[in-house]
Structure formats: structure tokens, C-alpha cells
Amino acid sequence: MPGSVRPTHRKGTIMTSLSGITPSGRLTLGNHLGALRRFTDPDGFYFVANLHAMTTKHDPRRLAALTREFATLMLAAGVPEGTVFIQSDVPTHAQLAYLLECTSYVGELSRMIQYKEKGNRPMTRASLFTYPCLMAADILLYGAERVPVGGDQDQHVELARDIAIRFNREYGETFVVPQLNKAALATRVKDLANPTAKMSKSAADDAIGTIRLLDPPDVIRRQIMRAVTDSENEVRHDEANKPGVTNLLDILAACTDGDPVELAKSYASYGALKQDVADAVLAVIDPLQKEYARLTTDPGAIDHLLAQGRDRALDASTPCLQAATRAMGLAGSTP
């Protein structure tokens, strides 16, 4: 694998896929198309990144409820059994994160977009500054080479790469260096009401431009039919001049495995395009909602699956934490 280093304690493993989703709001269509539906590797590691949801003021009860909802949605979306877990159940993440904080620089962390946008004020939580080290730990613990994420996470994966390369150079070969995200369809689904901005789960709960995976189907259809377009009536894929129509075409392409530029040619009106986008989105969301409803009738089965995921993640991540601990000179001082 060009550009990747395979340290000795990871030898023999296959290309591992890993990703997480932060329970900081209701899960959206953007999260699903950009990330969740790509969590398909039965040997992968996919988690609810609840430790990442505390970098700004949070409500503990809402965090606990969203964590459970996200884990259930991941299972409902068909993420393979045994691969799903809750980050805080696996203490190796927080442990490695501290070691990585000790190898990261204030300069590189100050350049992270989230920190530049929301941080650098007296009451900013310290974790908003350091959480990119936690994300690097999430990735490096499992020797993950593939990290299926949307385009907004590229800077974080790049930092994880930089941290891994520097650690390996300074303390000896310890981490697999992850690859940069390969462009996939729908890596940046836009808000339907404001199509130059990303669709975001931190939007207000009643925001009309955000499609939430658990919204009732009639609400979702209405939101799509009301999506902002433009005053022409020509269906064309043109991000700079027609962001609304282009977003609808990208969503349609992602839901139907089509090509957005080709799809544009089959529409003569915005109304017809919106109808098809609504049908395609609901065809993706409907089975997920049905499976979610089925799973929630059996909380014990969800607990069992999450315990399985937790145990497997702990087993898989412990050797890497131990290797990093030793490499930094922490182990072996107690007789």
C-alpha cells in the first residue's frame, strides 16, 4: 500500500475501515450519504463518538439519549454486527488521545477549522482545542487505513496522518498511516434551504433545510418539494451558478447510484426533479426507519450487539495502545 507503514504489532491485518459519528444533534441525510452507508466492512470499526460531543456545552441527558439513538440507527442502517460500539465504552481511545496530545503542537491544532471558527475564547472548552488528537487516536488505535468520512473531515484525517508519521519517526514504527479520503459521491450534501452551506445536524431541530433520518416521510417529502432552486427552469449540474439544483442532482445520484451530470438530462422541470429526489430519498430512508422501529422494541438485543462491539474494539485496540505506551517510555518502570 503506497504511503502506508505497517508496524510489526499490526502485521498481517487487512486494510481496516474505521469511522465515527458524533451525537451532537439529530442524524441527517448528509451523515448517511457521506458516511454511514459506507460503514460496510464486516472487519471494520464503527462507533458513536460520544466523547467528541462534549467539546461545547452539553446536556448530559440529551447526550445519553442521542448516543443510544445513533447506535440504534447505525445498526438499523445495516452496519455489520459486531463492528458497532460506543466510544466511551472503550477506554483505549481516551488513553491514546493523551499520549498523542503529548506529541502534537499548538500550532497545528490552532489551524483546525472548528477551533478557528468556534474556539480561541476564554470560555472555550480545552477539549475543543485537543479533540483532533482524540480523533487521531480513534483512527490510529485500529491501524485503520480507510476512513469513510464526508469532505468536512479531511483536515482531521490529514492531521492523524501527520501525527502518525511524526510519532513513527520519533519513537519508532508504531502506527499504520491512514490514507486520505478518496472522493466519493455526496461527500458534502448541502442544506436544502441554503444550498451553499453544508447540511448539518447542529442546525435547529425545526430547520427546514435539514433532512433528519427519523423525520416522518411526509415531512421529508415536503422539505424536498420546498428546496431552494433558482429563477431559471433549466435542470443542469452547475455548482457555481445553480447550487440548489446541483445539490438535488447530487442527492438523487447518491441515492440511485447514478451520475448527476447524466441524470440532469432527463429532467425538463424542477418539479419533476424534486418528485424523483423525494422518491429516491424515501426509498433509502424508509427501510432504515422500519428497521429502527423494529430494533427499538428489543432493547436487550441492542445492548447485546453493543457489548459485542465494545469487547471486540477493546481487544483490537489494546495492543496498539501498549505499543505506543512502551514506545514513549512509560511502560516497564514498575518492577
By beta-carbon proximity to ligand TYM, the closer residue of 199 and 263 is 199
Closer residue to ligand TYM, CB minimum distance, 151 or 172: 151
Q: Measured from the CB of residue 106, what is the shortest distance to ligand TYM in angstroms?
A: 20
Residue 201 among the catalytic residues: yes
Catalytic entry in 198, 265, 274, 290:
198
For ligand TYM, the closer of residues 86 and 199 by Cβ is 199
Catalytic, out of 116, 190, 201, 274: 201
Which element (helix H / strand E) includes 94?
Answer: helix 92-101
Interface ranges with ligand TYM (CB under 6 A): 18-22, 30-31, 33-35, 49, 52, 135, 138-139, 147, 149-150, 152-153, 186-189, 198-199
CB 38 within 8 A of CB 110: no
User: Residue 139 or 273: which CB sits closer to ligand TYM?
Assistant: 139
What's the closest the beta carbon of residue 198 comes to ligand TYM, in angstroms? 4
Task: Indicate the length of the chain as a whole number.
Answer: 335
Give residue 163's identity as a one-letter amino acid code: I
The vertex-34 CA angle with 74 and 48, nearest 5°, equals 35
| Pair 21, 49: CB distance under 8 Å | yes
Catalytic residue among 118, 182, 190, 265: 118
Residue 247 CA to residue 229 CA, distance in Å, equals 9
Least distance (Å) between residue 298 CB and ligand TYM: 26
CB of residue 154 vs ligand TYM: minimum separation in angstroms?
A: 9
Distance CA 141, CA 176 (A): 9
**Shortest distance (Å) from residue 322 CB to ligand TYM:** 21
CB closer to ligand TYM, 142 vs 234: 142
β 84-86/45-48 pair status: parallel
Q: Least distance to ligand TYM from the beta carbon of 103, Å? A: 18
Strand ranges across the sheet with 144-146: 84-86, 45-48, 16-21, 144-146
**Catalytic residue at 274?**
no
User: Which pairing describes strands 45-48 and 16-21: parallel, antiparallel, or unpaired?
Assistant: parallel
Long-range contacts of 209-213 (CB under 8 A, 24+ apart): 210/28, 211/28, 211/29, 211/30, 211/281, 212/26, 212/27, 212/28, 212/29, 213/26, 213/27, 213/28, 213/29, 213/31, 213/32, 213/73, 213/285, 213/288, 213/289
Residue type, 270: Y
Q: Is 198 an active-site residue?
A: yes
Do 216 and 159 touch, CB atoms closer than 8 A?
no
7 or 30: whose CB is closer to ligand TYM?
Answer: 30
Catalytically annotated residues: 118, 198, 201
